Chain A
Amino acid sequence: MEFKTFVFYFLSAILVFAALRVITARNPVHAALFLVLAFFNAGGIWLLLHAEFLAITLVMVYVGAVMVLFLFVVMMLDINLERLRQGFWSYLPVGALIGILLVIEMAMVLGGRYFGLDAMPVPPEPMAGFSNTRELGRVLYTDYVYPFELASLVLLVAMVAAVSLTLRKRKNTKYIDPSLQVSVKREGRVELVKMQAEKED
């Protein structure tokens, strides 16, 4: 076996294992950490496919930002695991039956018969000096400018949706407007009261 093939199977095995653990782990923090492991291995497989930029982005964006945020959320939320697991056994037979059927059907198609090397030939090795990053950068703002701009609007939708669903004005908040605070005059703070001099007995 070639070394590259060995690396591929090694990474894939860990990837499948980690992905399975994501959905079977009892502790949500462990599940999130297994997802991190799955991302790392997927990144490794992309590296084998000469997609260095995507691999590094996957690790940086998903592991570095998204999953860390996700871990915080999981730790902050008080999730009642018992309630989540309610009804697990009653749904299991139907779910397992459909799942197993789907896996068998997909395995029949995705097996070597249609996806073997003769049906799906290996793409030619890229030339020396080929840069995946440059290729992506070349088309991202030219050929793909339309979906690129639209993707920014999708992010805007997500932002507006998140804010409009969660932002609440708190009542009786102690908020102070800084601009009012700096423009305060002496008259607003100090009041001079004229009164008769008093003498202590």
Chain B
Amino acid sequence: MNFVVPDFYPAAAEIFVAVMALVIMLSTTFARSIARSLGYFLCQFTLIAAAFITIGTMHGEVSYTFSNMFISDLMGDFLKVMIYFSMAIALLYGRSYLADRNINKPEYYLLAILMTLGMMVMVTSNHMLTMYIGLEMMSLALYALVAFDRDSARSTEAGMKYFVLGALASGLLLYGMSMVYGATGTLEFSGVAQSVYNQAANKPVLLFGLVFLIAGICFKLGVVPFHMWVPDVYQGASTAVTLILATAPKLAAFAMAVRLLIWGLFDIAEQWQTMLMLVAVASIILGNLAAISQPNIKRMLAYSGISHMGFMLLGLLSGVVEGDRHFALNAYSSAMFYAVAYVIMSLASFGMIILLSRAGFEAERIDDFKGLNKRSPWFAAVMMFVMFSMAGVPFFIGFFAKLSVLQAVVAAGYFWIAAVAVVMSVIGAFYYLRVVKVMYFDEPVDTAPIHAPAELRVLLSANGIAIAALGLAPQALMSICAYALLASL
């Protein structure tokens, strides 16, 4: 057998980030005195440079390297750029928060960059082994980040819970992968797809594996019935980490679902669609109903995240109707648009909590938002944009996200799911609007002036404006999603 040196060019961004992770580790070790800001700035530099490299090496075609374990396509490139973008914003939002709580250590940035690498590997993997390794790299770094505030009992407990449940989910996923391997004889997604298409695979075994794959994916997305960890971990982790946890990993989990289910197992879509249907409907119902009674805004956003991920799954499950694949592109691009829109909204919502928090004070109760309009009319407006957008009020980005997945569901003929989703969004509007109500109509409890660094204020304002502006002109982002998927499928 002849060994051919693989083509490194498509993986340039991954290699760059991996090298930079080592650079960050060594430079912050040897320059202890400036390690904190050095770690932060190197991290931001890495993310920005990686975005340029990804855009620079982008070409509209699908290419493989590393013995077909690495796939480079437009969907992957788009999601990677979104991941850099959301990680960079999350790190910027979190910086002052961490400094106030004395946990602004260089390891934080090192773990964040390694986590980014794990997500990049997931997004670009064409092989179950690399998918799993990327997932573990991301999750391990996340477990550590959740427990990073190690003197806080709640943070440690959240880290432990996340770790134990995450390990269980990884085990389920691996078991499913081994069954798919047993049925098809390959771990490569295109090979799996080929084997299923030729009906060479042992179907009962394949379906048996599929159940476990779905369980693993659902855990990472945090949807019912694998949602138990979400509220506790969101609440227990320090808000800067919750911000990271609630944004970029959702994109990576979306990519994992797309690669495993659509790239690998598209020909048994009917089966996994039924499973996702139950999961999605249960998530939308439970997420919205449970969020109503939460006085803690981080828990409320956690439950709202569960329902948002349920909505995102609605797009994934309406691709194929009775063997008809007409709607597939439309449905999957609506799911991708939903994931991206959720990340943008989620960044702003947790950013607002960080903005209102200060040393020794967490603005994590809904009551802490009381009378925000009197303290800062502009940030009250930003929070209002976020809440309206999450509730799906027309002409914010969240509205178009919901609209496009509902269109996909209706086009697929699942009217009852669309009806449940609409009714539940109306119920969900209650708890989003309650936040708006306390901001505008209640007297402030906490009258301290808002202290936040200028870059946090500017970027958070930009984030709020983006939610409104993308709502007025959602077409551009939607067509990018559709085009990226079209070029990759």
Contact = CB atoms under 8 A, between A and B. Distances in A.
Contacts of A161: 111, 140-141, 143-144
A164 B136 contact: no
A145 interface: yes
A109 B118 CA distance: 34
B442 to A, nearest CB: 40
Interface stretch (A44-52, A65-73, A151-159): A151-159
A142 B141 contact: no
Given A146-B66, A160-B111, A164-B148, A151 B140 contact: no
Interface residues of A, number: 28
A119 B121 CA distance: 35
A142 B1 CA distance: 11
Interface string A108-135: 0110011100011000000000000000
B449 interface: no
A165 B150 contact: yes
Contact of B107 (A109, A143, A164): A164
Contact of B136 (A115, A138, A154): A154
Nearest to B129: A147
B265 interface: no
Given A138-B1, A146-B70, A147-B129, A119 B202 contact: yes
B464 to A, nearest CB: 33
Contacts of B334: none
Contact of A150 (B134, B143, B182): B134
A163 B114 contact: no
B23 to A, nearest CB: 13
Main secondary structure of the interface of A (DSSP, over half): helix
Contacts of B144: 157, 160-161, 164-165
Interface string B104-129: 01011011001101100100000101
A142 B111 CA distance: 28
B interface majority secondary structure: helix
A149 B182 CA distance: 25
Contacts of B140: 154, 157-158, 161
A150 B127 CA distance: 13
Contacts, number: 86
Interface residues of B, number: 40
B6 interface: yes
B18 interface: yes
B133 A154 contact: yes
Contacts of B147: 165
B69 interface: yes
Contacts of B121: 150
A120 B11 CA distance: 37
Contacts of A157: 111, 114-115, 118, 137, 140-141, 144
Contacts of A146: 6, 11, 66-67, 69-70, 130
A184 B266 CA distance: 73
B21 interface: yes
B3 interface: yes
A160 B50 CA distance: 22
A161 B111 CA distance: 7
Contacts of A145: 6, 66
25 contacts: A109-B205, A110-B208, A113-B204, A120-B182, A120-B202, A142-B3, A142-B67, A144-B67, A145-B6, A146-B66, A147-B130, A149-B18, A153-B18, A156-B114, A157-B114, A157-B115, A157-B141, A158-B140, A160-B114, A160-B144, A163-B107, A164-B111, A164-B144, A164-B148, A165-B147
The 6 closest A-B pairs by CB, nearest first: A161-B144, A164-B107, A146-B66, A114-B204, A143-B67, A150-B133
Interface of A: 106, 109-110, 113-115, 119-120, 138, 142-147, 149-151, 153-154, 156-158, 160-161, 163-165
